[in-house]
Amino acid sequence: MKLIIQIPCYNEEENLRSALDALPKSVPGVDKVEYLIINDGSKDRTVHIAREWGVNYIVNFRRNRGLAFGFMAGIDAALRAGADIIVNTDADNQYCADDIEKLVAPIVDGKADYVIGERPIDETEHFSRMKKRLQHIGSCTVRIASGTDVPDAPSGFRAISREAALHMNVINNYTYTLETIIQAGHNRTAIANVKIRTNPETRPSRLFKSIPVYVKRSSATIIRAFMMYKPLKFFFVMGTIFLIGALALGIRYVVYMCLGEGTGHVQSLILTAILALMGFMAVLIGLLGDVIAANRKIIEDIQYHVRRIDYRVDKFEDETNYHSERERELKMAEEKERRQDDRRKQERRQHDRRQLERGQEDRRKADRRQADRRQKED
């Protein structure tokens, strides 16, 4: 079983070496540990430091492509390299690398395919009170949207099995953390949570410039993912709200009309019609979205099987080469043994021939001696 630890990097020359030094060289239950760096358009010596340290794989981008794109590029490279487990961590050494053993344990034991590290958010000193509150609210929203029990949705410290990685897709360009959880919940992936430790902050987060920007982008990501994976539920709820508003205004208008005051409330009747139309349209969009989601599920299944074939090509080639060499060695050994048998048989035949000739010679000598003896007697 091979474990590949991947680290997305963007101008991390100050922190990368310490993050790499902290990574484990061996993990219980894993035969081989390798390391992968995603260089997301760094302008400093990040790649040079990674090569000096001895990183096994480096994925290079000429310009910054974003965290989500880099994460999926790393997953692709790790799968092509034959990874059975992929661990994602940060280059700023935010997460305690000693907890990687705990992170991969549920996958090694066959209890989960996707493991997320749960940070001690309330005990983290460099998190502001507002950030802690938003972290909890965001995680709660993701739990509702995904149907999972993930307590720390924004955590980037994760372990992914090969099977879960083959199903993984990230559509947004902002972050992979929220969308992949909603996707995993939709696919009924076995998810586990492990309590982890964090290190002191080495630099401010580069994922967002301010809390309002973070809330805006995270909310958009959650809503988009929820709409994509559960469109019928999303639009049905929206349509129901519109229809309830239309029903309430319609009842209000009927009451006023019964009281003889309906002429002064024509605006309510117009708004009722608009809300009812919006409600029916939302439900219809939900039904259409559900059909599209079913088609997308079929496409994802096709993509999964294509990925299995694609990512196993190199492995099959290695196995084929191994078997070809093995078969060649066996054939050579068989040929050598056959030649030795032929040589032994030939030597045995020559030995038997010599024995026969020697016996015939002995009989001729005996006959001559007997003939000589008879001649003497005569």
Q: How far apart are CA 14 and CA 202, in angstroms?
A: 9
290 inside domain: yes
322 inside domain: no
Region 5-31 average pLDDT: 90
Do the beta carbons of residue 225 and residue 38 sit within 8 Å?
A: no
Residues 55-79 have pLDDT tens digits of: 999 999 988 888 888 999 999 999 9
pLDDT bucket at 325, cuts 50 / 70 / 90? low
- Whether the predicted pLDDT of 150 surpasses 70: yes
82 inside domain: yes
Region 9-16 average pLDDT: 88
26 inside domain: yes
Are 208 and 271 contained in the same domain?
no
Which pairs with CB-CB distance under 8 Å and at least 24 residues apart come from 55-60? 55/20, 56/4, 56/81, 57/4, 57/81
Residues 173-221 have pLDDT tens digits of: 778 888 899 889 888 899 999 999 888 877 666 666 667 777 787 888 8
Query: In the chain, pLDDT over 90 holds for what percent of residues?
Result: 29
Residues 274-315 have pLDDT tens digits of: 999 999 999 999 999 888 888 888 888 888 888 888 877 545
291 inside domain: yes
Are 32 and 8 contained in the same domain?
yes
Query: Which domain-ending residue is among 195, 211, 229?
Result: 229
Are 244 and 108 contained in the same domain?
no
Do the beta carbons of residue 117 and residue 151 sit within 8 Å?
A: no
pLDDT bucket at 241, cuts 50 / 70 / 90? very high
346 inside domain: no
Query: Residue 40 sits in a domain of what CATH number?
Result: 3.90.550.10
pLDDT of residue 261: 72
373 inside domain: no
- Whether the predicted pLDDT of 158 surpasses 90: yes
Q: Which of 43, 46, 41, 33 is nearest to 6 (CA)?
A: 33
Amino acid of residue 258: C
Domain region containing 188: 2-229
The two most distant CA atoms of the chain are separated, in Å, by: 170
158 inside domain: yes
Are 224 and 257 contained in the same domain?
no
- For CA atoms 367, 370, 375, 378, give the dihedral sign: negative
- Whether the predicted pLDDT of 334 surpasses 50: yes
Mean pLDDT (the chain, rounded):
84
Query: Which domain-ending residue is among 311, 328, 360?
Result: 311
pLDDT of residue 305: 82
Are 163 and 214 contained in the same domain?
yes
Query: Which domain-ending residue is among 196, 229, 262?
Result: 229
pLDDT bucket at 20, cuts 50 / 70 / 90? very high
Are 165 and 290 contained in the same domain?
no
Helix spans in 187-230 (H): 211-229
Are 157 and 283 contained in the same domain?
no
pLDDT of residue 206: 63
Are 156 and 68 contained in the same domain?
yes
Query: In the chain, pLDDT over 70 holds for what percent of residues?
Result: 92
Are 15 and 134 contained in the same domain?
yes
Are 92 and 115 contained in the same domain?
yes
pLDDT of residue 321: 52
Our count of domains for the chain comes to 2
Give the start-end residues of each E strand in the chain. Answer: 2-9, 32-40, 57-61, 85-88, 114-118, 158-161, 191-195
Give the start-end residues of each E strand in 62-110. Answer: 85-88
Are 113 and 243 contained in the same domain?
no
Least confident range from 6-15, 124-133, 243-252, 299-308: namely 124-133
Are 19 and 143 contained in the same domain?
yes
Region 311-336 average pLDDT: 61
pLDDT of residue 377: 72
- Whether the predicted pLDDT of 142 surpasses 70: yes
Least confident range from 45-54, 99-108, 186-195, 211-220: namely 211-220
- Whether the predicted pLDDT of 324 surpasses 60: no
